[in-house]
Structure 1
Amino acid sequence: MPRVKLLTAKEDVAPEHYALYAELAALRGRVSGPSSVVLHSPALSKPWNDQSEFLHSGTVVEPPLAELAMSATARERDCAYIWNAHAPAARKGGVAEATLTAVRDNAPLTGLPPHEGGVVSYTRQLLRNNRVERPLFDAMLQSHGPRWLVELTAFISRYAALAGILNSFEVLPGPDAEPLPVPMPNRAATAGAVRPPEASPRAVLITQREQVAEAQRGIFDAVAEGRGNVRGPFSVLMYSPELCMRVIEVSNYLRFGSLVQSNPGELGIIATAREKDCPYVWAAHVPPARKAGVREEAIVAVRDRAGLGGLTAEEADVVDYVRQLHRTNRVSQPLFDRLRDRYGVPWLVEYTALIGHYGMITAQLNAFEVSRAQEADQLPLT
């Protein structure tokens, strides 16, 4: 049973949000799944949904491979809702039954069609190891090009974010749905040392206006104007300018309009950077976390993956929510209840979206090996 009321009917929202509801319902004929949770934050709903709409209508990733990536992500994140929404679509699109069976059963990928096995391997490496090994990355880049690979990475990380919402709020498929087998292993128990980013990025970073086609330079200008320049994740995302713009729109809401105040928000971001082993996001957000009043004890506990006994109850819950969601694909009922009761449902929706959003950012940085500045705060990876 869902942990909150799912907003699936027009009457579930306030009259001032009827137009938003109608717009969302028109996309697929109804409001369901993650949209029925995110609608608890009406201001977030439109930019959040616009990302999915671009990926489904504007991507260069072939539909069967996109559906396969979403299905593989559902398996890695133990999300039966997404599996039942996208595995049938992958099957209908021509993905081999042997491939879907291997994904569902977490089986070896030997003997599968190479293009399908490559997508599943990429998904597994990125979500299990927070890295993609060089031979696989280079093969995918050579076969498909940087925009395709940016958008594939976005599919994987976007659906990991959606799985986080569905799993945390316990939104399940119908009674006739195909069950997923035993859960994936706890990532805290299986994690080992992670190699640092490579010395140079795996693709040329787009940091200059002249690198972008004339028709897309307005998007480059918008990114540069809001941040002073184009760097970091946006220098990768600019290979897909329209996707980049939609990521920016979500980022702007979460930075400037969110119910999640800067102190718990920045603590959640650095906790996500720690779980995703992403030195760039860690270095970018430790200084604003300190500025927002996050205590050094909390920063050190997150950095060192230490116990949370020395933190305040509020700090411990904010960090533990990130850890549980990343490591177990679930959030315990007591923790969920404490955060909901302390901050409210809309806050918790936005906090879960914030974690997922920075999961998307770290995925691009980790896959394309974008390093932090040498003088920045260090994130130990061993």
Structure 2
Amino acid sequence: MTGTPRLEPLPADRWDDTVTDALRPLLSPARMNPHDAGNVLATLVHHPDLTRAYLTFNAHLLVTSTLPARVREVALLRAVHVRRCDYLWDHHGPIAERAGMTPAEIDAVRTDGLDDAAERAVIRAVDELSEANTLTDETWSALRGYFDEPQILDLIFTVGCYQLLGSAVNALRIQPEAH
């Protein structure tokens, strides 16, 4: 992300119980600090109520979703690729690897070059949701061939959640963490 951040991560001296409570839906107590929370969450906690609500939703998508972890990562990687959010792409690469994707498969998400037919249907769904805010009957039928109703709902909401987050990260110009 180029440009000066529009909102800096909340400084450590402003972290209080309200801030850590906002992070509780997604982070373990050990990660509830400005360094371990990362720049996205450390920035979002400027609005603790919004952060808590968003993370409750996001935690479902990341932890208890009905989608297999690999499918979830294909969907969200494509969503952040479409949103041109390098921060989230870079953050989710290692998560996608832990979900069983190879580096070549992760790169193939950008070009719709995956071999698996279900994953190609997921990429098509992300693209249609991004371009038209709906799914064609053909894509809906393809998804129904691979996923049940709860999984399709989790897919649609995963795409929307990460499109939203990618837009927020870009609009706020959140910078990668310094290592």
Q: Could you say which TM-score interval applies, normalised by the shorter chain?
A: 0.7 to 0.9
Question: Number of paired residues?
Answer: 174
Q: Distance in 1 between matches of 2:64 and 2:27?
A: 20
The C-alpha deviation readout for 1:319-370, integer Å capped at 9, x for no partner, is 1111111123232211111212321111100111111111221122111101
Q: Distance in 1 between matches of 2:138 and 2:166?
A: 28
Q: Distance in 1 between matches of 2:17 and 2:58?
A: 23
Match of 1:338 in 2: 142
Percent identity at matched positions? Answer: 19
Q: Distance in 2 between matches of 1:253 and 1:202?
A: 28
Question: Cα distance, 1:233 vs. partner?
Answer: 2.2
The C-alpha deviation readout for 1:268-294, integer Å capped at 9, x for no partner, is 111111000001110010111122112
TM-score w.r.t. the length of structure 2 is 0.85
> Match of 1:347, as an amino acid?
Q
Aligned counterpart for 1:261 among listed residues 50, 68, 89: 68
Match of 2:43 in 1: 236
Match of 2:119 in 1: 315
Cα pair 1:199 1:371 within 8 Å, conserved: no
> Match of 1:339, as an amino acid?
L
Pair 218,236 (structure 1): closer, same or farther in 2 beyond 3 Å: closer
The C-alpha deviation readout for 1:214-234, integer Å capped at 9, x for no partner, is 562442563653571322321
Match of 1:324 in 2: 128
> Match of 1:330, as an amino acid?
T
The reply on whether 1:281 has 2:84 as its aligned counterpart is: no
The reply on whether 1:203 has 2:7 as its aligned counterpart is: yes
Pair 267,242 (structure 1): closer, same or farther in 2 beyond 3 Å: same
Match of 2:151 in 1: 347
Question: 1:232 aligns to what SS in structure 2?
Answer: helix
TM-score w.r.t. the length of structure 1 is 0.42
Q: Distance in 2 between matches of 1:259 and 1:272?
A: 18
Cα pair 1:207 1:230 within 8 Å, conserved: no
Cα pair 2:67 2:151 within 8 Å, conserved: yes
Structure whose residues are more often helix by fraction:
2
Q: Distance in 2 between matches of 1:234 and 1:280?
A: 13
The reply on whether 1:248 has 2:55 as its aligned counterpart is: yes
Q: CA RMSD in A?
A: 2.3
Cα pair 1:236 1:364 within 8 Å, conserved: no
Pair 283,218 (structure 1): closer, same or farther in 2 beyond 3 Å: closer
Match of 1:216 in 2: 18
